[in-house]
Structure 1
Amino acid sequence: MIATREGSTPMGKLTTYRDKRAGLRAHAAALKSTAMTEAKLAAKETRKQAREAHRVELAEAKKRAKLEGKNADRKAKREEKRAEKQNKLDRKAAKRDRKAEKVHAKEERKTIKREAKILATGSSPRRSTPPAASTSTSWPRWSSTSSRAPSWARTTCNVG
Protein backbone atom coordinates (compact mmCIF):
# COMPACT_ATOMS: atom_id res chain seq x y z
CA MET A 1 0.00 0.00 0.00
CA ILE A 2 1.22 3.40 -0.86
CA ALA A 3 1.08 6.02 1.82
CA THR A 4 -0.67 9.14 0.76
CA ARG A 5 -1.33 12.32 2.56
CA GLU A 6 -4.94 11.72 2.99
CA GLY A 7 -4.71 8.03 3.38
CA SER A 8 -5.86 6.13 6.38
CA THR A 9 -2.58 4.38 7.00
CA PRO A 10 -0.39 5.18 9.91
CA MET A 11 2.29 6.41 7.50
CA GLY A 12 -0.18 8.86 6.10
CA LYS A 13 -0.94 10.17 9.54
CA LEU A 14 2.76 10.62 10.24
CA THR A 15 3.22 12.53 7.05
CA THR A 16 0.29 14.74 7.89
CA TYR A 17 1.67 15.33 11.39
CA ARG A 18 5.07 16.26 9.95
CA ASP A 19 3.44 18.60 7.51
CA LYS A 20 1.46 20.19 10.32
CA ARG A 21 4.61 20.61 12.40
CA ALA A 22 6.48 22.13 9.48
CA GLY A 23 3.59 24.50 8.87
CA LEU A 24 3.54 25.49 12.51
CA ARG A 25 7.27 25.97 12.48
CA ALA A 26 7.01 28.14 9.37
CA HIS A 27 4.20 30.12 10.97
CA ALA A 28 6.24 30.55 14.16
CA ALA A 29 9.23 31.62 12.10
CA ALA A 30 7.06 34.10 10.23
CA LEU A 31 5.66 35.45 13.52
CA LYS A 32 9.16 35.60 14.92
CA SER A 33 10.36 37.42 11.81
CA THR A 34 7.45 39.84 11.99
CA ALA A 35 8.08 40.38 15.70
CA MET A 36 11.76 40.96 15.03
CA THR A 37 10.93 43.43 12.27
CA GLU A 38 8.49 45.21 14.56
CA ALA A 39 11.04 45.20 17.37
CA LYS A 40 13.68 46.58 15.02
CA LEU A 41 11.28 49.29 13.84
CA ALA A 42 10.38 50.13 17.45
CA ALA A 43 14.06 50.30 18.40
CA LYS A 44 14.74 52.46 15.38
CA GLU A 45 11.88 54.79 16.36
CA THR A 46 13.13 54.92 19.95
CA ARG A 47 16.63 55.83 18.76
CA LYS A 48 15.16 58.52 16.53
CA GLN A 49 13.18 59.97 19.44
CA ALA A 50 16.27 59.85 21.66
CA ARG A 51 18.30 61.69 19.01
CA GLU A 52 15.57 64.32 18.68
CA ALA A 53 15.34 64.75 22.47
CA HIS A 54 19.13 65.04 22.65
CA ARG A 55 19.13 67.63 19.86
CA VAL A 56 16.45 69.65 21.66
CA GLU A 57 18.36 69.35 24.93
CA LEU A 58 21.56 70.54 23.26
CA ALA A 59 19.73 73.49 21.70
CA GLU A 60 18.27 74.45 25.08
CA ALA A 61 21.67 74.07 26.75
CA LYS A 62 23.21 76.27 24.07
CA LYS A 63 20.47 78.87 24.59
CA ARG A 64 20.99 78.75 28.38
CA ALA A 65 24.76 79.09 27.95
CA LYS A 66 24.27 82.07 25.65
CA LEU A 67 21.90 83.70 28.14
CA GLU A 68 24.27 83.02 31.03
CA GLY A 69 27.09 84.51 28.97
CA LYS A 70 25.02 87.62 28.32
CA ASN A 71 24.14 87.83 32.01
CA ALA A 72 27.81 87.44 32.92
CA ASP A 73 28.70 90.20 30.45
CA ARG A 74 26.04 92.46 31.92
CA LYS A 75 27.22 91.68 35.42
CA ALA A 76 30.83 92.41 34.47
CA LYS A 77 29.77 95.68 32.84
CA ARG A 78 27.82 96.69 35.95
CA GLU A 79 30.80 95.79 38.13
CA GLU A 80 33.10 97.83 35.88
CA LYS A 81 30.76 100.84 36.04
CA ARG A 82 30.53 100.52 39.81
CA ALA A 83 34.33 100.37 40.06
CA GLU A 84 34.64 103.45 37.82
CA LYS A 85 32.15 105.38 39.96
CA GLN A 86 33.95 104.34 43.13
CA ASN A 87 37.29 105.34 41.60
CA LYS A 88 35.86 108.73 40.62
CA LEU A 89 34.49 109.25 44.14
CA ASP A 90 37.87 108.24 45.61
CA ARG A 91 39.66 110.75 43.35
CA LYS A 92 37.22 113.49 44.41
CA ALA A 93 37.71 112.63 48.08
CA ALA A 94 41.50 112.65 47.65
CA LYS A 95 41.33 116.04 45.94
CA ARG A 96 39.10 117.39 48.72
CA ASP A 97 41.50 116.03 51.34
CA ARG A 98 44.48 117.62 49.57
CA LYS A 99 42.69 120.99 49.46
CA ALA A 100 41.76 120.75 53.13
CA GLU A 101 45.34 119.79 53.98
CA LYS A 102 46.62 122.73 51.94
CA VAL A 103 44.33 125.16 53.77
CA HIS A 104 45.28 123.65 57.12
CA ALA A 105 48.99 123.90 56.31
CA LYS A 106 48.54 127.53 55.20
CA GLU A 107 46.75 128.42 58.44
CA GLU A 108 49.42 126.58 60.40
CA ARG A 109 52.15 128.59 58.65
CA LYS A 110 50.22 131.82 59.36
CA THR A 111 49.92 130.91 63.02
CA ILE A 112 53.61 130.06 63.28
CA LYS A 113 54.55 133.29 61.49
CA ARG A 114 52.31 135.32 63.78
CA GLU A 115 53.72 133.68 66.90
CA ALA A 116 57.26 134.24 65.65
CA LYS A 117 56.48 137.91 65.03
CA ILE A 118 55.04 138.28 68.52
CA LEU A 119 58.06 136.64 70.07
CA ALA A 120 60.38 138.83 68.02
CA THR A 121 58.69 142.06 69.09
CA GLY A 122 58.34 140.89 72.65
CA SER A 123 54.84 142.26 73.05
CA SER A 124 51.66 140.47 73.89
CA PRO A 125 49.19 139.74 71.12
CA ARG A 126 46.57 142.41 70.56
CA ARG A 127 43.07 141.60 71.37
CA SER A 128 40.82 143.12 68.84
CA THR A 129 37.28 143.98 69.84
CA PRO A 130 34.56 144.23 67.29
CA PRO A 131 33.51 147.81 66.50
CA ALA A 132 30.41 149.10 68.21
CA ALA A 133 27.28 149.05 66.12
CA SER A 134 26.28 152.42 64.70
CA THR A 135 22.90 153.67 65.81
CA SER A 136 22.44 156.12 62.98
CA THR A 137 21.52 153.62 60.30
CA SER A 138 19.17 155.11 57.79
CA TRP A 139 17.04 152.82 55.71
CA PRO A 140 16.12 153.95 52.23
CA ARG A 141 12.58 155.14 51.96
CA TRP A 142 10.89 154.61 48.65
CA SER A 143 7.46 155.45 47.56
CA SER A 144 5.50 152.60 46.11
CA THR A 145 5.38 154.34 42.73
CA SER A 146 9.08 155.13 42.52
CA SER A 147 10.77 153.55 39.56
CA ARG A 148 14.03 153.20 41.48
CA ALA A 149 12.43 151.15 44.22
CA PRO A 150 12.95 147.38 44.08
CA SER A 151 10.05 145.23 42.96
CA TRP A 152 9.22 144.04 46.46
CA ALA A 153 8.90 147.65 47.61
CA ARG A 154 6.58 148.54 44.74
CA THR A 155 4.21 145.67 45.43
CA THR A 156 3.86 146.15 49.16
CA CYS A 157 1.59 148.70 50.81
CA ASN A 158 3.09 152.11 51.33
CA VAL A 159 3.05 152.55 55.08
CA GLY A 160 4.03 155.90 56.18
Structure 2
Amino acid sequence: MSVAGRMASHPANAPPPLASSRSPSINTVNMASNVPSDPISSLKVSSNNIAAGIGEALEALIEAASMSPMSTKPIFVEWEGRIMALGRKRMASMNGRNAFLYLKSKFGLLSSPRPLFLQVLFVGEAEGDYVEVDLDAWEELAPHIERLRIIS
Protein backbone atom coordinates (compact mmCIF):
# COMPACT_ATOMS: atom_id res chain seq x y z
CA MET A 1 0.00 0.00 0.00
CA SER A 2 1.35 3.44 -0.88
CA VAL A 3 1.84 6.26 1.62
CA ALA A 4 -1.04 8.25 0.07
CA GLY A 5 -3.35 5.24 0.32
CA ARG A 6 -2.48 4.72 4.00
CA MET A 7 -3.04 8.41 4.79
CA ALA A 8 -6.46 8.44 3.13
CA SER A 9 -7.57 5.37 5.04
CA HIS A 10 -6.44 6.77 8.39
CA PRO A 11 -9.43 8.10 10.46
CA ALA A 12 -7.65 11.35 11.29
CA ASN A 13 -7.36 12.19 7.58
CA ALA A 14 -10.96 11.35 6.70
CA PRO A 15 -13.10 14.27 5.51
CA PRO A 16 -15.61 15.65 8.03
CA PRO A 17 -19.14 14.29 7.75
CA LEU A 18 -21.44 16.30 5.49
CA ALA A 19 -24.06 18.52 7.12
CA SER A 20 -26.80 16.73 5.19
CA SER A 21 -25.85 13.41 6.81
CA ARG A 22 -26.83 14.72 10.24
CA SER A 23 -30.38 14.18 11.40
CA PRO A 24 -32.46 17.38 11.58
CA SER A 25 -33.15 18.90 14.96
CA ILE A 26 -36.68 18.96 16.36
CA ASN A 27 -37.03 22.70 15.67
CA THR A 28 -36.13 22.24 12.00
CA VAL A 29 -38.70 19.48 11.59
CA ASN A 30 -41.46 21.58 13.22
CA MET A 31 -40.65 24.61 11.08
CA ALA A 32 -40.69 22.57 7.88
CA SER A 33 -44.19 21.28 8.56
CA ASN A 34 -45.59 24.85 8.91
CA VAL A 35 -44.14 26.16 5.63
CA PRO A 36 -46.50 26.06 2.61
CA SER A 37 -45.26 23.82 -0.19
CA ASP A 38 -45.61 26.59 -2.82
CA PRO A 39 -42.60 28.97 -2.67
CA ILE A 40 -44.70 32.00 -3.63
CA SER A 41 -47.21 31.23 -0.88
CA SER A 42 -44.27 30.95 1.53
CA LEU A 43 -43.14 34.43 0.56
CA LYS A 44 -46.63 35.92 0.81
CA VAL A 45 -47.12 34.71 4.39
CA SER A 46 -43.62 35.69 5.47
CA SER A 47 -43.29 37.89 8.54
CA ASN A 48 -40.69 39.87 6.57
CA ASN A 49 -42.61 42.66 4.81
CA ILE A 50 -40.19 42.79 1.89
CA ALA A 51 -40.45 39.05 1.25
CA ALA A 52 -44.25 39.22 1.54
CA GLY A 53 -44.33 42.07 -0.98
CA ILE A 54 -42.12 40.14 -3.39
CA GLY A 55 -44.46 37.15 -3.05
CA GLU A 56 -47.49 39.30 -3.89
CA ALA A 57 -45.69 40.89 -6.84
CA LEU A 58 -44.68 37.48 -8.20
CA GLU A 59 -48.25 36.23 -7.89
CA ALA A 60 -49.54 39.30 -9.78
CA LEU A 61 -46.90 38.78 -12.47
CA ILE A 62 -47.90 35.14 -12.94
CA GLU A 63 -51.57 36.12 -13.10
CA ALA A 64 -50.86 38.82 -15.69
CA ALA A 65 -48.78 36.42 -17.79
CA SER A 66 -51.62 33.91 -17.84
CA MET A 67 -54.19 36.44 -19.11
CA SER A 68 -56.24 35.39 -22.10
CA PRO A 69 -55.08 36.24 -25.61
CA MET A 70 -57.95 38.76 -25.73
CA SER A 71 -55.58 41.22 -24.07
CA THR A 72 -53.58 41.44 -27.32
CA LYS A 73 -56.50 41.83 -29.73
CA PRO A 74 -57.25 45.31 -31.09
CA ILE A 75 -60.10 47.49 -29.84
CA PHE A 76 -62.56 48.39 -32.60
CA VAL A 77 -63.76 51.99 -32.51
CA GLU A 78 -66.85 53.17 -34.38
CA TRP A 79 -67.99 56.67 -35.35
CA GLU A 80 -70.92 57.22 -37.73
CA GLY A 81 -70.37 53.98 -39.64
CA ARG A 82 -66.59 54.26 -39.81
CA ILE A 83 -64.74 51.53 -37.89
CA MET A 84 -61.06 51.67 -36.94
CA ALA A 85 -58.89 49.10 -35.11
CA LEU A 86 -56.61 50.56 -32.44
CA GLY A 87 -53.91 48.85 -30.40
CA ARG A 88 -55.10 47.63 -27.00
CA LYS A 89 -51.70 48.15 -25.34
CA ARG A 90 -51.52 51.74 -26.58
CA MET A 91 -55.08 52.49 -25.48
CA ALA A 92 -54.56 50.88 -22.06
CA SER A 93 -51.35 52.84 -21.47
CA MET A 94 -53.23 56.18 -21.51
CA ASN A 95 -55.51 57.63 -18.89
CA GLY A 96 -59.16 58.05 -19.88
CA ARG A 97 -58.99 61.71 -20.86
CA ASN A 98 -55.94 61.23 -23.07
CA ALA A 99 -57.50 58.13 -24.64
CA PHE A 100 -60.63 60.12 -25.50
CA LEU A 101 -58.53 62.94 -27.03
CA TYR A 102 -56.59 60.34 -29.02
CA LEU A 103 -59.86 58.85 -30.32
CA LYS A 104 -61.19 62.30 -31.25
CA SER A 105 -57.96 63.04 -33.15
CA LYS A 106 -58.18 59.76 -35.09
CA PHE A 107 -61.70 60.61 -36.29
CA GLY A 108 -61.11 64.36 -36.84
CA LEU A 109 -63.35 65.38 -33.93
CA LEU A 110 -61.00 67.57 -31.89
CA SER A 111 -62.83 70.77 -32.84
CA SER A 112 -66.32 69.25 -32.82
CA PRO A 113 -68.90 71.67 -31.31
CA ARG A 114 -71.09 68.71 -30.27
CA PRO A 115 -70.60 67.01 -26.91
CA LEU A 116 -69.18 63.52 -27.48
CA PHE A 117 -69.40 60.42 -25.30
CA LEU A 118 -67.87 56.97 -25.33
CA GLN A 119 -69.86 53.77 -25.11
CA VAL A 120 -68.20 50.37 -24.81
CA LEU A 121 -69.07 46.78 -25.44
CA PHE A 122 -67.22 44.48 -23.06
CA VAL A 123 -65.83 41.09 -24.03
CA GLY A 124 -68.54 38.43 -23.94
CA GLU A 125 -71.49 40.86 -23.95
CA ALA A 126 -74.28 40.83 -26.54
CA GLU A 127 -73.94 43.29 -29.46
CA GLY A 128 -76.61 45.70 -28.15
CA ASP A 129 -75.22 45.94 -24.60
CA TYR A 130 -73.14 49.11 -25.02
CA VAL A 131 -72.66 51.14 -21.83
CA GLU A 132 -71.21 54.59 -21.23
CA VAL A 133 -67.66 54.59 -19.92
CA ASP A 134 -66.25 56.29 -16.82
CA LEU A 135 -63.03 57.88 -18.09
CA ASP A 136 -61.57 57.90 -14.56
CA ALA A 137 -61.68 54.07 -14.59
CA TRP A 138 -60.24 53.76 -18.11
CA GLU A 139 -57.02 51.91 -17.20
CA GLU A 140 -59.06 49.32 -15.31
CA LEU A 141 -61.65 48.87 -18.08
CA ALA A 142 -59.43 48.95 -21.20
CA PRO A 143 -58.29 45.30 -21.02
CA HIS A 144 -61.93 44.16 -21.12
CA ILE A 145 -63.20 46.37 -23.97
CA GLU A 146 -64.11 44.68 -27.24
CA ARG A 147 -65.66 47.65 -29.10
CA LEU A 148 -65.92 51.40 -28.54
CA ARG A 149 -68.50 53.70 -30.00
CA ILE A 150 -68.24 57.50 -30.08
CA ILE A 151 -71.67 59.09 -29.81
CA SER A 152 -72.97 62.66 -29.72
TM-score, structure 1 as length reference? 0.22
Q: Is the strand fraction higher in 1 or 2? A: 2
- Of structures 1 and 2, the larger Rg is shown by 1
Q: Is the helix fraction higher in 1 or 2? A: 1
